[in-house]
Amino acid sequence: MHARAVEAAPAHLTSAHATLTLWEALTSTVPAARGAVVLTARGTVADVASACDAPLAASAAAALDELRERSGPTLATVLGCPTCGQVLDVPLDLRALADSAQSAHDESDPLERRVACASGEVVVRAPTTSDVLDAITSSDPARHLRERCETWPPGAGTTDDDLAQVARAADDLTGLAAATVRASCPGCGQDVTADVDVVDLLTDQVTEQARTLLADVAELAAAYGWSQDAVLAMTPVRRRAYLDLVRAEW
């Protein structure tokens, strides 16, 4: 028996179709479930239902991997300074972000923490997309999410120290899904901290790439009458060359 080469579509073709498919899946899903869509699109889990039961940290890690493949090691982001209003350009180091998430989980269970309190042990479970989808329908989503993910000993009295330890465990389990970025404002000198939602950043990036592809298809279809599939099947270099011809820039 001889090994046979598997016939595969050229990388640029897979990539153009994959971008449009991922864009459609992300933008037709509620924001809270987009991380589960990314996990499914990358083949990490079999279907969206299973992905909804995976930890948010896993969805965020999958979104970060996808973002790094599409954007390279650094992503340009902007923050508004809450003190003086200046807009700050903040290059986000995606590799450092991935490394920090990885080291946080290297030596501990990514699904559960057990926190010892004076009156017993509190079990804290990693929140999932299903937990968030359930919580956002309640009047107090943050409290509802905590109640779903924390199991306290019956009749336990709680101290501020207990609450702080449990909150730290919950933050740790949320991992990359609760990442932040810090910068110093050149206008007023204040430190500015902002949440980093990697699934949102990925959605923005994929939307931008899909719009560019669709605009290329529309322009070449209008000029030459070619079909969408014919335009997407071209290498990016050839597509660019035809666009330059249409715009008389070549």
Q: Does 84 bind Zn ion (CB under 5 A)?
A: yes
C-beta closer to Zn ion: residue 63 or 81 = 81
Closer to Zn ion by CB, 29 or 86: give it: 86
129: nearest Cα among 201, 195, 53, 200: 53
Give the footprint of Zn ion on residues 147-206 (CB under 5 A): 185, 187-188
The distance of closest approach from Cβ of residue 194 to Zn ion in the complex, given in angstroms and rounded to an integer, is: 13
Q: Tell me whether residue 88 or residue 156 sits nearer to Zn ion (CB atom).
A: 88
Does 83 engage in binding with Zn ion (CB under 5 A)?
yes
Report the DSSP pairing between strands 150-151 and 179-184: unpaired
Per CB under 5 A, does 87 bind Zn ion?
no
Instruction: Name residue 193's amino acid.
Output: T
Site membership for Zn ion, residue 81 (CB under 5 A): yes
Helix (H) or strand (E) holding 114: strand 112-117
Radius of gyration of the chain (CA): 23
Distances (CA, A) of 103 to 49, 75, 98, 139, 171: 28, 21, 9, 35, 15
Counting contacts by CB under 5 A, is residue 232 touching Zn ion?
no
Say if CB 48 and CB 30 are below 8 A apart.
no
- Closer Cβ to Zn ion, 87 or 218, answer by number: 87
91 binds Zn ion (CB under 5 A): no
Of 49 and 84, CB closest to Zn ion = 84
| CB 151 to Zn ion: min, Å | 43
Cα separation, 214 vs 237, whole angstroms: 16
**Phi, psi (5° rounding) for residue 29?**
-120, 145
Q: Which residue ranges make up the site for Zn ion (CB under 5 A)?
A: 81, 83-84, 86, 185, 187-188
